[in-house]
Each structure stands twice: as structure tokens, then as C-alpha cells.
């Protein structure tokens, strides 16, 4: 494989044995991996190597993974996967609210991490044969350019926020359960404890000026799921 075809990964992990294992495994499967072991070195490494995806340990010396995540998110929408030893839902929600696109709980099998990375790759593939744009009044979603505009003003979304909006908008007017949404986003089933969908819905509503107390653009159907309202964006 030519080096230009490799997917570049920045791995920020203070456990050197784990980092070496993950880097070796990913390299065998077509990834180029840059490793740093401290949080306070991560941002400089990110700027230097311009990775396609960041694997970020939550507990790091120098600077926490959540701090690094927020700093990177200020600069880029590069996908970020949090590696955490904390399986508590609150810690996972904190990671997502800091701008992460996904999380993997330690200890994990390298094959599980590889599957998550490949899922991210599939979501990032752009179709070059024809434009893929959804328009609803003032709202425009361009999948090829990955641009969302509301009343001609560009809305900055993370990779996962964009993909969630695309999933909802593509099913315009149709009820999608959390299980439906997670399967379309990650290829995994809703386990009853995973709050990532709710977190991203909340963040999307905030960025799209949808009233969180009485949402009309992305409606909640209690106990069932969410519905994208295609008529809410008319002038």
C-alpha cells in the first residue's frame, strides 16, 4: 500500500505497552499511527501530523483527554474517539459533550477498535458521482461538502453531529428510535444505557436554534425516538 493511501491516526495514550500494541495492530491493517504519551504534547502533534482521526485516552499526564478534545475541537472537526477506563454513563456523556465522536471502554479488543475506526471511515467517504444535498426551506445540508447552512449562515458541526443530522433529515418525517439511529451511525444496537444519541440531539438543537424546552425542528416522541420535521425550516 502506498503511504498516501494510509489513514493517519494520532494516538494519545500514556500506557506505553498498550499504545505500542494498538499502533502495531492498526499498522497491520492499513493505518499510519503517530503516538504521543502526554496530553500537553497532543495539540502540537495534531498540528504537525494533521491526522484523519484521533484516538485519545481520557486520563493523561500534563493535560486531560477531555481538555485535549475540547482544544482540538476548536480547531477542527477531525473525528475523535475517546479511550476510557471509565464505563460510567456520566463519563461517556462528558466525553461526547467535549466534542468526541465516539468512545471505546477499556479493556477493549483491538478488533473492536478497528471496527469503530472503519465505521468512521465509511461515514467520511464522500460520493463524487453526483451532489448529495438536502434542502428544507432555510436549512441546507450538503453531504459531499459536509456543509450545513441555516438562513445562509454556516453552522459548524462535528463529524458525528453532521452524520446524525443527515440520518434524521434523510428520514424526514419518519420516527427513528435510538436503536435505528445508533445502527445507522455506528452499526451497533442501543443497549438501554447509551446516552450518546440524546447528547447529540441536544447539541444539534442548540446549534440549529431549536427550542430545547419545546423543540419543533427535531421532535421527541417520548419512549419511542425522534422525528425530523421537514416543515419547521420554512420562512
Structural domains in the chain, sorted by start: 3-124 (3.40.50.2300), 133-228 (1.10.10.10)
CA atoms within 13 A on the CB side of 153: 6
d(CA 26, CA 94): 27
pLDDT in tens, the chain (235 residues): 344 457 899 999 999 999 999 999 999 998 999 999 999 999 999 999 989 899 999 999 999 999 999 999 888 888 899 998 866 667 777 777 788 888 888 888 888 899 888 877 766 654 334 448 899 989 999 988 889 999 989 999 988 889 899 999 988 888 888 888 887 776 544 444 457 788 889 999 999 999 888 888 999 988 888 999 988 887 6
Angle between helices 196-207 and 159-170 (to 10 degrees): 90
Looking at residue 1, its pLDDT comes to 39
Could you tell me which of 89, 46, 93, 45 has the C-alpha nearest to residue 66?
93
Bridge partners (DSSP) of residue 83 are: 57, 104
Model pLDDT, residue 39: 95
- Which pLDDT belongs to residue 102? 83
Alpha helices for the chain (secondary structure H): 16-28, 42-49, 65-75, 89-97, 110-124, 159-170, 178-186, 196-207
Coil, strand or helix: which one is 17? helix
d(CA 8, CA 6): 6
Amino acid at each position: 500500500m502506498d503511504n498516501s493511501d494510509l489513514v493517519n491516526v494520532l494516538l494519545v495514550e500514556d500506557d506505553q505497552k498498550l499504545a505500542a500494541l494498538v499502533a502495531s495492530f492498526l499498522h497491520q491493517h492499513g493505518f499510519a499511527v503517530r503516538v504521543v504519551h502526554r496530553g500537553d504534547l497532543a495539540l502540537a502533534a495534531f498540528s504537525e501530523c494533521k491526522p484523519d482521526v484521533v484516538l485519545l485516552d481520557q486520563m493523561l499526564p500534563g493535560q486531560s483527554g477531555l481538555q485535549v478534545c475540547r482544544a482540538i475541537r476548536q480547531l477542527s472537526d477531525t473525528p475523535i474517539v475517546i479511550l476510557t477506563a471509565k464505563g460510567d454513563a456520566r463519563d461517556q456523556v462528558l466525553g461526547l459533550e467535549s466534542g468526541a465522536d465516539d468512545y471505546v471502554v477499556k479493556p477493549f479488543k483491538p478488533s473492536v477498535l478497528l471496527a469503530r475506526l472503519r465505521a468512521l471511515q465509511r461515514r467520511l467517504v464522500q460520493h463524487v458521482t453526483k451532489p448529495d444535498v438536502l434542502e428544507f426551506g432555510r436549512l441546507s445540508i450538503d453531504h459531499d461538502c459536509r456543509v450545513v447552512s441555516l438562513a445562509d449562515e454556516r453552522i459548524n458541526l462535528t463529524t458525528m453531529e453532521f452524520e446524525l443530522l443527515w440520518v434524521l433529515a434523510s428520514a424526514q418525517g419518519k420516527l427513528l428510535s435510538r436503536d435505528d439511529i445508533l445502527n445507522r451511525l455506528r452499526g451497533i444496537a442501543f443497549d438501554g444505557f447509551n446516552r450518546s444519541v440524546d447528547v447529540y440531539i441536544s447539541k444539534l438543537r442548540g446549534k440549529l436554534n431549536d427550542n430545547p424546552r419545546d423543540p419543533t425542528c427535531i421532535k421527541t416522541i417520548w419512549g419511542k425516538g425522534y422525528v425530523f420535521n421537514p416543515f419547521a425550516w420554512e420562512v
